[in-house]
Structures are given as C-alpha cells and as structure tokens.
Structure 1
Amino acid sequence: MIPANVGASTVRDWAFPRAATGLRVLLTYGRDHGLGARTVLAGTGLQAGSLGLASGSGAAEVTAAQELRVVRNLVARLGEGIGPDVGSRYRAETFGVFGYALRSSRTLGEAVEVALTYLDLSHAFALPRAEVVGDEVVGRLDGGGLPVDVREVLVARDATAVLTVLDDLVPGGTGASLELTGSTATLRVAVSEMARPLPRDGADAAERSRLLCEQVVEPRRRRTGLAADVRVLVTQRLPEGAPMTAVAADLGRSERTLRRELAAAGVGYRELLDEVRASLAAELLRSGPTLGVDALARRLGYAEATSFIAAFRRWTGTTPAAWAREFA
C-alpha cells in the first residue's frame, strides 16, 4: 500500500535525456500511418539505423528536444488527435530497466512508487502528481509547462500510457478511469487496487531492479548542462566509437574548445564515455542473451571484445558473462 500523501514525481523538469527505444513506438506509429523513418525523424539529426531503432537492438539515448521534434513531425502529418492512440501502444517493456522495475514490484502500489521515483527513466513529458481522495488514488498530469503547440497531445499520450501500463501490470486490469480535459488529465483508481499483488520472478526481483534503476539513472542525474548533452551525443555515436571530434562538431565546437569547457565543468570526455558505455552495457546485458560479447562490444564502440571485457571488469570487478548470470 502507498501512503496517503502519495505526492509528486521526484523529477521536476521534463527536459531529461531518455532511452532511444521510446522513439521506436513513435517510428512504428508513423510507419503504420504511412510515414517513413526519414519523415518522422526530420530535424532531429537522428537516423533509425544508427540508433538501432529499426531493428530494436539499440540502447542509445536521445534528448528531450529530439523526441519533442519527432512528436511535432507526427502531429504535423497526422493531426493533434493522435495522443491517446500513441499512448495506448506503450507497455512496461518499452521502458527498459524502468519497466523491469515496474514488473518486479510486489504490489501495484509499489509500482506506483517506483514510477514516481524513477520517472526520468521513462519517456514522459507531462509530470504526474498523485493523492488519495476518499477511497480513490487520483493522479493528475498537468501540461502547463509544456510547449503550447504539442501540450495537449503530450498530456493525452502520457496519461493514456500510464493507464495502459498500469492495466498491463495487473491481471484483469485495475479498473482505472481516465479523463482528458485539454492540457490536463485525471486518472482514478480504487485505493484497494494498490494492494493487488503483481506476478513477478523471484523474491529478490524488486531489490535487484531498483539497483539497476539507480545504476542507470545516477550518472544522468549527476550530469547537467554541457556534460549531459555530451553524454546523450556519445550514446548516439557509440557504434563508431564516439570520437570526440565528431561529438564536438555536433555541438558546434572544436575538440579543443569542448575539452576546455568540460574541464571547467569538472569532468573529462573519457569519463563521460566510460559512464555511457557502462550504463548501456548493463542495460543490454540485462535484456537477455540477444547479443553476444563480440556484438555487444561493437555496439559500444570497441574494435574487439577483449577491450570491452577489460573495461567491464574495470567498471564492475567482474566479466560481462558473470554479471549477466547474476543480474539478467
């Protein structure tokens, strides 16, 4: 059961980096409505192939501005009423380790707590607040701080996604209701539903999944400003090794200037590169044996697997195979 004063998300700003896997939902939606990837990604500087979005093998990050551009592209082609339809396509699995933590929760109430704690591992723009009113938990999403041109679309998408994921977590659904009113959304679910047990694997799943969330989210929260932008651009260029010259050019800087500005911020480029690689390696290993060590090394920008294994041992004190056996 969650406390009576459920409260708001720990996230205070929607402009956080997000996993590129969220764009797969938007790309698929566009494709199903006759739009090619180039049209959907126009103006983002992204290509589906370079992020692994076409095959689903990628675990890169994108900026909030890039995802926002994709939403605007869809709205321009398909209209402002797409929010609920897009939102209904999200499932817990869409969100990587965040979704794993939701699935691993002992009860629906615990899943709500996880969602509010790690919202910046989702793809949300409209930030939620929840409270207990009588015998209901009432969740509200207010789009007041979102760009006016896509405010209602984003609120409708995010609120519908929340409802869809909650119902997907609980066998038979939660019986929750959703009311969309312009730039606000209200979800209502009986307080008694919060105690509903969720199907999960293993008694230690909840603790393990939270640890994984912390491993992914901590570097993101620790880096702001230029360092945060560099981290995102590094993830997008990892398959080619994320050369500093290319990332600097993406930011409109020379390599020397970028190095100087990062030093002033108290961080080095190599440190950011290692952070991204360590985080994405954990994400990809946790998702199961879909990639061998050689393929994973290439995905992270290593020329050979031995270099990746040595780096992984430096980060974690163990090998990728041993880590996967323990945490995947």
Structure 2
Amino acid sequence: MRPWSVRRGIGSVHLLVGLAADHGIPASACLRGSHIRADSLADPLAEIEAAQELTVVRNLVRHLGHLPGIGLEAGRRYRLTAYGIWGYALLSSRTLGSATEFGIRYLDLTFAFNRFRAERRADDLRILLDDGDIPPECRQFLVERDAAAAVGIQRDLFLRPVPLRRVSFRFARPPYADRFPEYFPGPIFFGEPVHGVTIDAKWVDEPLPQADERTARLCEEQCRDLLDRRRSGARVSAQVRQHLLRPRGGTQMGGVAAEMGMAPRTLHRHLAAEGTSFRRLLDEVREALAEEMLAYRMTVGEVAERLGYAEVSSFVHAFRRWKEESPGRYRRQSPRRRREAGTRRARTAS
C-alpha cells in the first residue's frame, strides 16, 4: 500500500481546480474520472482518497503540462492556512526546526505525495523529498508543487522569505530554469542525486514570531486525533481497491465481497455510505491500469483481456468514456507524450 493511502482534505483539489480555471480549463475537465463532485469543493470538512486527488493531478498535467513551471505555480497557492489544524500547529511551534519535525511527523495530514525527511547537521538542516511512489507522468509536477509549497510554508512561518543555502533537484535542468529563483531563494542545482532544500542552522533555531506553547500543544492533540481517525477508519472502498489491484484480482462484486468476508449486499451498503459503488471503484482501477498498460505498448486486445472485458469493443467504449479518445490513439501517442514537455518522463524516471 502506498504511504499516502490516508484520506485527506479536499482543499488541495480546490486549489488545483482554481489554478486550472485561471488557465481556461473548466472544473469538469479537472474532476473527470475522480468521482469528486464540484459542489463538494466548497465544503471545508470534505475528505477524499489520495488516489482521487492524483486523478485530478493527472487531468491537470494532461491539460496544462505544456506550460513551463506549472508545478511551481501550483505550489505557490498552498499557503499555510490551507492545511487547517496542521498549519496552525506549525505556526505556533517554537522554532523552524521544531515546526519541521512536527510537520514531517504528521505529514499524512497534508496534501503531499512526496515523502519528506529531515537531516539535522552541524551547521544546517537538509529537507529531502522522495518521489519514488509517484507515477512518472505526474512526478515532476508534484516535485515542483510540493517543494515550492514547502518553501512557501517557511516564508509564512517567518512572515518573510527564508534564505536557502542550497536547492537540488534530480531532474535535468528544464528550459524554464530561470523561473525557479522566483520560488527558491538560494543557489539551485539540477541533475543532483536527491531532491532537497538546505537551510542554515541560524534559521532552524530562530524563534517563530507566532510561537505559543499552549496553542502548539492543543493543535498537536487535535492533529493526533484527526490522524488517528483517518487511519483507523479503514474504509471499505480502500480495501476494495486493493483487492481489484491484485494480480488476477476478481472483477465481480460477489467474489470480492467473499474475499472480504461479507455478503454482497453488505459490501454495497458500506460503499454507498462512503459515497461510492463497486462499479465506480472498478472503473477507477481499470482506467488507471489501462493507462499504464497502453503506455507500456501492450495491444488494445491484451489490455482488454487483462482487465477482464469479455469483448474488446466493451473496453474501447469504456476507454472513450474515461478519456474522450480511443485506446488505440492513446497508445500511439504515448511515446510522443513522453517526449513532450521537455522530455519530462525521461528526466524524472527513477
């Protein structure tokens, strides 16, 4: 199971849809296939699966991935207050160092897809990003977004930019490299072994202007309760996805329900309570797997068979509904798509 399997707030999707709208892309195009209702974006308490946000990211990259630095532009929108109680916990922390430690410990309450790790050294603090779990087609966008958002959080904590000793990215220098200094106030290097930012020790130990020990303790209690609730609520929909993703996993509701130790009617009731259905989950999994298989040059017939379709025509019909194009056309364009946007996939492959 991927490390970002914990449910998350809908705030990030709200920001991404806003970014798309500013570039002329309607919300319906961003939300396509995510099973997120547009009217839920305004609900501050709404929660979604990380996979649903990832679908939105895929749609955004598909429509706007050709724009230089679109990931950086997205990251700038993630102000500290967008993170709810997690953000207020950081604001009330004693120092940047303690805020960083807390933020990483409760990272599952954020919108990050990269995993963060901090290394405290004698004269600096290095914060590293691990993109190993992110699908290749979204990787550079999400590295840029999450890194820019992290540096923006540091700025919000001090109410002014925090100078960086060093900024590194694993991908090759992009054509829009001259835009990075707008987001990262320090020397920037590309083609490095790791993604990361390095901060001088004097900033790490600097007291934060809004530090408050009592508020910090209260916020941490609320963060702990929220994370426990999200983790313990082992949602039936997430379990169904895991069953469907397994090699030779069944595609019939009765078989999956039996593997989960419940009657089909009970499974249907649980999924309805979570705002989804077995058919919807099966569609989500099939769509994601179809993209991957076609990108790896499997034929349309092979993909249809692997996904459990009795007829190739049924798969073609479903794929057109998901992507508004035929699987054959999608397959033919896969190499070109990988070459576009500055050979994004080649540069970011791990």
Give the TM-score range, shorter chain.
Answer: 0.5 to 0.7
Distance 1:164 1:201 in 2: 18
User: CA RMSD of the aligned region, Å?
Assistant: 2.5
Counterpart of 1:21, as a letter, is G
Paired position in structure 2 for 1:71: 57
Name the SS of the counterpart of 1:166 in structure 2: helix
Q: Who is 1:85 aligned against?
A: 73
Q: Which amino acid aligns with 2:86?
A: F
Q: How far does the alpha carbon of each residue in 1:31-87 deviate from its partner, in whole angstroms, 9 at most, with x for none? A: 1111111111111111121x1x2xx44311111111001111110001164211111
Question: How far apart are the structure 2 equivalents of 1:45 and 1:107?
Answer: 40
Q: After the TM superposition, which residues 260-275 of structure 1 pair with which residues of structure 2 at under 5 Å, given as runs? A: none
Structure 2: gaps of 5 or more residues: 173-193, 241-268, 280-350
Q: How does 1:237-316 map to 2 (within 5 A)?
A: 246-247=272-273, 250-252=276-278
In structure 1, the partner of 2:23 is 33
User: Are 1:125 and 2:135 an aligned pair?
Assistant: no
Residue equivalent to 2:135: 147
Contact 1:163 1:178 in 2 (8 A): no
TM-score normalized by structure 2?
0.60
Assess if the C-alpha contact under 8 Å between 1:141 and 1:185 holds in 2. Answer: yes
Matches of 1:107 and 1:201, distance apart in 2: 8
Question: What CA distance in whole angstroms lies between the structure 2 residues aligned with 1:251 and 1:116?
Answer: 34
In the other structure, the counterpart of 1:179 is 168
**CA drift at 1:12:** 7.5
In structure 2, distance between residues paired with 1:83 and 1:33: 13
1:162 and 2:150 correspond? yes
Q: Is the 8 A contact 2:95 2:211 kept in 1?
A: no
Counterparts of 2:224 and 2:167 in 1: how far apart (Å)? 30
SS in 1 for 2:208: coil
Q: Secondary structure at the match of 1:178?
A: strand
* Identical residues among aligned pairs (%): 36
2:48 to 54, 58, 62: 62
* Structure-2 separation of matches of 1:113 and 1:228: 29
In 1, distance between residues paired with 2:28 and 2:104? Answer: 34
Paired residue secondary structure (1:14): coil
Per the alignment, do residues 175 and 12 of structure 1 end up closer, same or farther by CA in structure 2, a change over 3 Å counting? Answer: farther
The equivalent position to 1:211 in structure 2, one of 206, 221, 224, is 221
Determine the C-alpha separation between the residues in 2 that align with 1:248 and 1:118: 24
Letter of the 2:162 counterpart = T
Separation in 2, partners of 1:158, 1:136: 21
For the residues of structure 1 that align with 2:271 and 2:50, how far apart are their CA atoms?
23
CA gap 1:245/1:24 in 2 versus in 1, 3 angstroms: closer
CA distance in 2: counterparts of 1:79 and 1:196, whole angstroms = 38
Aligned residues: 227
What is the rounded CA distance, in whole Å, between the counterparts of 2:25 and 2:3 in structure 1? 30
What residue in structure 1 maps to residue 103 of structure 2? 115
Per the alignment, do residues 249 and 161 of structure 1 end up closer, same or farther by CA in structure 2, a change over 3 Å counting? closer
Residue 202 of structure 1 deviates from its aligned partner by 4.9
Measure the CA separation in 2 of the matches of 1:12 and 1:75: 21
CA deviation vs aligned residue, 1:121-163 (integer Å, no higher than 9, x gap):
0000000111124412111112122111111211111111111
Q: Distance in 2 between matches of 1:219 and 1:41?
A: 26
Q: Which amino acid aligns with 2:231?
A: R
Query: For the Cα contact (< 8 Å) 2:101–2:118, is it kept in 1?
Result: no
